[in-house]
Amino acid sequence: MEQVMVIQGNEACVRGAIAAGCRFFAGYPITPASEIAELMAEMLPRHGGVFMQMEDEIASICAVLGAAWGGAKACTATSGPGFSLMQEGFSYAVSSETPCVVINVQRGGPSTGQPTSPSQQDIYQAKYGAHGDYEVIALAPASSQEAFDLTVKAFNLAEKYRVPVFVMSDEVVGHTREKVRIPQNLYVRPRQKPSLPPGQYVPFRAGPNGLLDGMPAFNQGYKLLVEGQLHDETGNRAGTVVDASAKLVTRLCSKILKHDGDLLDVDGRFLDDEPEVVVVAYGSPVRPAMQAVRQARAAGIKAGCLKMRIVWPFPDEEIAKVAATARRIVVPEMNVGKIVREVDRAAHGRAEVIPLPKLGGALHTPAEILAAIEGGYVRASAS
């Protein structure tokens, strides 16, 4: 039966994770993500899962990696400083193709920054924060409902693509209580078993799409070697072999970039009449952006909105399509203007791309976005 509840985004993430099969959570308290750990501690035991509060965020991501190879779908949640500490673990997860989900309830930075205020300042860090060449998947919920939906999706994508998948929430989404519908029939991708028995199975041999054939757990007879050093298909080190090393890094990136369409998740609103002005947004700013677009249309301005639910990999083609017809693209972000650079790159000069940064720990108001739609360039309270 469909369930309807009024919950905050952080709780929606927990319910989404458990619904998606998460049975291990390791974390460390941090504002504004702590409710996720608290609820996991309460709910996981009731679902046959284990919660661990570790000694720090480094240990948290490492325990998640161990649990993943232990056979569980595993997850952690944190915010800015903790996200920084976890970066080496993300890089390890990429190299060793360990599925895991990381929820970052973003707060303002740099450093300790603004623990109780929202930001989107970590959106580059999700893609570029760790060392080495790699690609990951990052989703950005704008509501409690999306916090639930995208957390489920994050687990499904982690299982398929065998990468860390980031749910880039923020303090607004995390702490806003609103209605969430939990559907009766939820698509949950189970952990895929290897198609071959031990002895015949080659753990890191990829198919033509660059994806691996199932994921055995430890102590199932496969005698796995899980390696962070660049390795061959067996898992054995190949860091000094140029061809094998290049082949692995190329595949780790291309399996994400050349996805089969399920890593494109954008939602166009009012785009059918080729609007002159399009607001491109992700996460919380989608909310005032939609309001501003409605107000603009009521005032006779042809405006539309393109909302990105998956930010990484970046939806280049969708941006290019919008840029082909729009005169102006406005990009509201709760940071100095980050994704706007990607939008500008993908627009390739075909539309004027206007950054609308908002700093200080507050969400844009619809009026600020409306003003940018109307043509006046508004620098929000950054100065």
Partner 1 sequence: MHPLAEKYLRKSALPQFFCQGCGDGTIVTALMRAIDDLGIIDQVAFASGIGCCAWIPVFVNADCIHAMHGRAIPVATGLKLTDPSRKVVVFAGDGDCMGIGGNHLIHAARRNIDMTVVMVNNAIYGMTGGQTAPTTPHHATTKTTPIGNAEFPFDACEVAKAAGATYVARWTTAHPAQITRALKEAINHKGFAFIEVLSQCPTQTGRLIYGSGDPVEAFNTIKNMAVTKAQAARMTPEELVGKVIVGKLHQVEGRAELCDEVQALMSQKGEGLSSDARLVS
CA distances to 82, 311, 331 from 339, in Å: 22, 9, 8
Is the peptide bond prior to 355 cis by the omega test (within 30 degrees of 0)?
no
Binding residue for partner 1, selected from 192, 234, 325, 365, defined by CB under 8 A: 234
Residue 215 is a binding residue for partner 1 (CB under 8 A) = no
Nearer to partner 1, 148 or 155 (CB): 155
Q: Which stretch binds partner 1 (CB under 8 A): 40-48, 109-117, 293-301, 329-337?
A: 40-48
Residue 54 is a binding residue for partner 1 (CB under 8 A) = yes
Residue 29 is a binding residue for partner 1 (CB under 8 A) = no
Is the peptide bond prior to 332 cis by the omega test (within 30 degrees of 0)?
no
Binding residue for partner 1, selected from 9, 12, 17, 24, defined by CB under 8 A: 24
Between CA 368 and CA 254 the distance in angstroms is 39
Q: Which stretch binds partner 1 (CB under 8 A): 50-58, 282-290, 324-332, 343-351?
A: 50-58
CA distances to 48, 102, 124, 300 from 165, in Å: 23, 6, 14, 40
Nearer to partner 1, 224 or 279 (CB): 224
Residue 60 is a binding residue for partner 1 (CB under 8 A) = yes
Binding residue for partner 1, selected from 66, 115, 268, 361, defined by CB under 8 A: 66
Nearest to 169 by CA among 316, 305, 18, 8: 8
Instruction: Quote the tokens at residue 275.
Output: 């609007």
**Torsion of the alpha carbons at 150, 156, 161 and 167, rounded to the nearest 10:** 20
Residue 227 is a binding residue for partner 1 (CB under 8 A) = yes
Between CA 158 and CA 60 the distance in angstroms is 18
Binding residue for partner 1, selected from 3, 112, 116, 236, defined by CB under 8 A: 236
CB of 241 to partner 1, least distance (A): 14
Residue 239 is a binding residue for partner 1 (CB under 8 A) = no
CA distances to 289, 336, 360 from 383, in Å: 21, 11, 9
Between CA 142 and CA 286 the distance in angstroms is 6
CB atoms within 10 A of CB 270: 18
CB of 72 to partner 1, least distance (A): 5
Binding residue for partner 1, selected from 96, 117, 125, 145, defined by CB under 8 A: 96
Tell me which residues touch partner 1 (CB under 8 A). 21, 23-24, 26, 44-50, 52, 54-56, 58-60, 62-74, 88-89, 92, 96, 190-191, 217-219, 221-229, 234, 236-237
